[in-house]
Structure 1
């Protein structure tokens, strides 16, 4: 573990954020720091944050959530709250490494929290933990079973993480947990494998399904995390804006041609493209389009007390307009 900057704030009672150099992590650190006056904010990531991107009232540390040395960091800093964002989202990497970061990394963070007397652990799971299945309820609610998918490491890992969180909370009830299950997160700067699907000249859909997308704005995710830090209400909450957008509607909003084809030909096409190393996605990815989890957000509003600012359509339009600005 290496320290890049020490903030001029109290050593104890602070907030530690793992995965702090990621898409959500950077903005969360900035928002926490903006109104901070007397508690330490610790930003931890495998990637070192360059000097010109560091904030003056944040302690930047470089480290791996799988590293046993993380325990020493927790013992010295003694954070009151930990926001665990570190995860691997991209498809097609090293499944074993992804599992180690997601599952073993979370286990290590849990042990560090217990040993250091952390009071509140906030974890970002995913709506993918429900799994991609034809018989998924619509919408999915927090008490519906988590099934993941054996052939989709991200969904499988998130299910395993949540099962582990339940086991640890039973053993260590003094460590409160808040778990968020976000759907697809979009912001003006989002650029990933999902947005690549939206940006192709021809958006490929599947006949027999509308491919509904639950969407949440990146700013809404950050606001929900900040609220969880400042006004804790432990529990498990889906994180989604109101409504859904079908893949056809997304294509229309993005001024793209939409073509729906049967699942069989699409599976063959993905097999061929994967064989030619044009894409990392194989035939199993068809269920990712075919059986999208649609998330209910009633509990988020009524029990956690948070209403997303943007609905699904507004979230996509905000992403689309931001992309257009970047291109010009």
Structure 2
């Protein structure tokens, strides 16, 4: 089995590539990204190109499985995200690749007050620029999927990812305060990067058609997250939360901060039913990442 990983220079992409190289049944791993892969991952054939460029299309003729990773990374150039994603999907479709696994953010669902399942309509169009880009890409994917040439399409939608290679999220929370006035008893779901990789590997080992949410549990109330970070019950306007994090060097768009504290919860019962068992709860994922920050025990 030959596997092509797009987005390989991300923390999640690199971790996945390291596991794939040692995975029984995987005969070769190819990597694709528009940033340099440094340091190199032994055993990975890397090609540097943007997803909307044609230089990498020859890789598709050798790929049995294509994995496209966008979750865990806030993209540069959100305005071009949807268009580049569409071109990438079209190239995979035209090449007739047997299996495609996309790893995206649950922000595609948009704002929800209730627990979100795979059957919940995509409402990212109602969010900010990133949510809209995800939603438009999902719409395009739906159109292609109707006539995909005999392939198996897997869409993984993850909660917020954290861990040793994804500390920026917890840095943002630690910059605090994390409570936004007016949001009530909302929750934060944190998915450890190791559990995210296990979900992807499961989809590599066993064809899983359709959409699967990836989250460890129902998450923690914002007040518990704030207490774990030493913020107590501090409450502040959302704009101040985003500004303060930016002043402390954790730059994220306002939409990122708003989505984080809005508390949308996704259910991963479908993925658990096919064998995925996360090793980390939201609390353990938070503690594991928090311990890596300077000045923390």
TM-score by length of 2: 0.87
Rate the CA distance shift 1:69–1:53 in 2: closer, same or farther, 3 A. closer
Gaps in structure 2 of 5+ consecutive residues: none
Query: Are residues 1:131 and 2:114 paired?
Result: no
The one of 5, 16, 26 equivalent to 1:28 is: 16
Gaps in structure 1 of 5+ consecutive residues: 1-12
The one of 277, 280, 294 equivalent to 1:307 is: 277
Which whole-Å CA distance do the structure 2 matches of 1:246 and 1:152 have between them? 23
CA offsets 1:92-117 (integer angstroms, 9 cap, x no match): x6xxx3242x3223222222223332
Task: Name the counterpart of 1:178.
Answer: 154
Query: Are residues 1:147 and 2:147 paired?
Result: no
Task: Name the counterpart of 1:18.
Answer: 6
The one of 73, 92, 95 equivalent to 1:113 is: 92
Task: Name the counterpart of 1:45.
Answer: 33
C-alpha RMSD of the superposition = 3.0
State the shift of 1:320 in Å. 1.6
CA offsets 1:32-59 (integer angstroms, 9 cap, x no match): 0023576121011111223x5330x221
Which whole-Å CA distance do the structure 1 matches of 2:26 and 2:261 have between them? 49
SS at match of 2:290: helix
SS at match of 1:41: strand
Task: Name the counterpart of 2:78.
Answer: 98
State the shift of 1:205 in Å. 2.9
Rate the CA distance shift 1:253–1:142 in 2: closer, same or farther, 3 A. same
TM-score by length of 1: 0.80
Contact 1:187 1:217 in 2 (8 A): yes
Which whole-Å CA distance do the structure 1 matches of 2:130 and 2:165 have between them? 22
State the shift of 1:142 in Å. 0.6
Contact 1:242 1:310 in 2 (8 A): no
Rate the CA distance shift 1:175–1:316 in 2: closer, same or farther, 3 A. same
Rate the CA distance shift 1:209–1:289 in 2: closer, same or farther, 3 A. farther
Which has the higher Rg, Structure 1 or Structure 2?
A: 1
Task: Name the counterpart of 2:55.
Answer: 69
Contact 1:215 1:244 in 2 (8 A): yes
Moved >6 Å (runs of 4+): 270-274
1:1-328 to 2 correspondence within 5 Å?
13-36=1-24, 39-50=27-38, 52-55=39-42, 57-75=43-61, 78-86=62-70, 89-90=73-74, 97-100=77-80, 102-132=81-111, 136-192=112-168, 194-200=169-175, 202-261=177-236, 265-267=237-239, 269=240, 281-282=253-254, 287-289=258-260, 291-302=262-273, 304-323=274-293
State the shift of 1:63 in Å. 1.1
Rate the CA distance shift 1:175–1:105 in 2: closer, same or farther, 3 A. farther
State the shift of 1:86 in Å. 4.4
CA offsets 1:107-162 (integer angstroms, 9 cap, x no match): 22222223332110000121101112xxx252111101111144512211111121
